[in-house]
A and B are shown apart, each in its own frame.
Chain A
Amino acid sequence: MFPVIQIGPLSLQTPGIILLLGLWLALWISEKLYSYRTQTFGIYYDLVLVALIAGILGARLGYAAKNSSVFLQTPSALIIPSPQMLDLPSGMMFAALAALVYGNRRGLRFWPTLDQLTPAASIFALALHLADLASGNAYGAPTSVLWCIPLWGECRHPTQVYAFLLALGITAVILRSMRETWPNGMRFWTFLALTALARLIIEPFRGDSVTWFHFRQAQIIAWAVLALSLHQIGRCLQTTPKEQDHDPSG
């Protein structure tokens, strides 16, 4: 755990720095991969920026909606610059909607665009797990295995490291897929399926799992995502080569 970098009187939040670097690296590598095909990656930077802004706004609105009684009491809390008051699912929904609208206006084709951004997502996932390791979030259950890490008075599974290693494997699969011709959407669904599978594997080692009637919430969601992804991969495989397209800005 390394949550803060102290430079003189300045305290920098390590997870935030890792996430920013991760985002930049993810887009930079994707641009390099994309440049083999066409020179118009700039449009994706704009797309990600639009999605990011909409995502942050949506995450705050979602958080406020979920805690409406609190925010009705103190409406000014809506504009407090606090990174804690964000709701991830709402943020993702707003980001997706904004990206969809922006993509449509710019004439981007849906599935090829998602496929093109999948390597960036898989690289960003690596940063996400490193940020968790730095902050202590997504921590493991107590254990006595040799490779345990001491955290909060107990030796625990380094679940963030497990997640990072699995994400590394997923990234390798996704980057390798860039060399091959895959049906539209398949790269995205493969990433989603593998990510859900990784979560299913890691969740039993987590020490902070939220349970729904004795079932781990994250595993229930991961099973659903995995089932949907496998179904969609099946559909992608039935796609005829004529329907495939690899230039999203087509």
Chain B
Amino acid sequence: MPVFEKLSREFDPAKVHFIGINTTYQDDITQMQQFVRDNDLTFTIALDIEGQSSQTYQIQALPTTFLLDQRKVIRTMVLGGPVSEAWLRAEIHRILQAPR
């Protein structure tokens, strides 16, 4: 999570959008808000109450990271964590630089 927070502050929000989705059904909105405050997260965090995104994206491991390009095509995904900062930064650069 700190990696995502760091890079969300580093990249231009007009070009790169970070969205975190809490798919843990045990959590409620209060716990999630507390988590956001505790970790000082500034990017968008959603709570998947009905498990819709987990079902749509067929999440089988937590965390699962998807990187989508400007056309919302999934370019890469990583099952499990932690996600390396170098990898995330490199992949974002690659997607931004790819011809459309």
Contact = CB atoms under 8 A, between A and B. Distances in A.
B74 A152 contact: yes
Given A3-B61, A152-B74, A211-B99, A85 B94 contact: no
Interface stretch (A37-45, A66-74, A191-199, A228-236): A66-74
A89 interface: no
Contacts of A67: 86, 89-90, 93-94
Interface of chain B: mostly helix, strand, loop or mixed = mixed
B98 A210 contact: yes
A93 B90 CA distance: 21
Interface residues of A, number: 31
A208 interface: yes
B73 A212 contact: no
A213 interface: yes
B80 interface: yes
A238 interface: no
Contacts of B89: 67, 70, 73
A84 B73 contact: no
A78 to B, nearest CB: 9
Contacts of A80: 84, 86-87
B99 A207 contact: no
Given A208-B73, A211-B99, A213-B99, A11 B86 contact: no
Given A207-B73, A208-B74, A70 B79 contact: no
Given A11-B80, A85-B84, A139-B74, 18 more contacts: A3-B60, A4-B60, A63-B90, A66-B90, A67-B86, A70-B86, A70-B90, A70-B93, A71-B86, A77-B85, A84-B87, A85-B86, A85-B87, A136-B77, A208-B73, A208-B74, A210-B98, A211-B99
5 contacts: A4-B60, A4-B61, A71-B86, A152-B57, A208-B73
Nearest 9 pairs between A and B by C-beta?
A: A77-B86, A67-B90, A153-B56, A70-B90, A4-B61, A70-B89, A82-B84, A4-B60, A84-B87
Interface of A: 1-4, 11, 13, 63, 66-67, 69-71, 73-74, 77, 80, 82, 84-85, 135-136, 139, 151-153, 207-208, 210-213
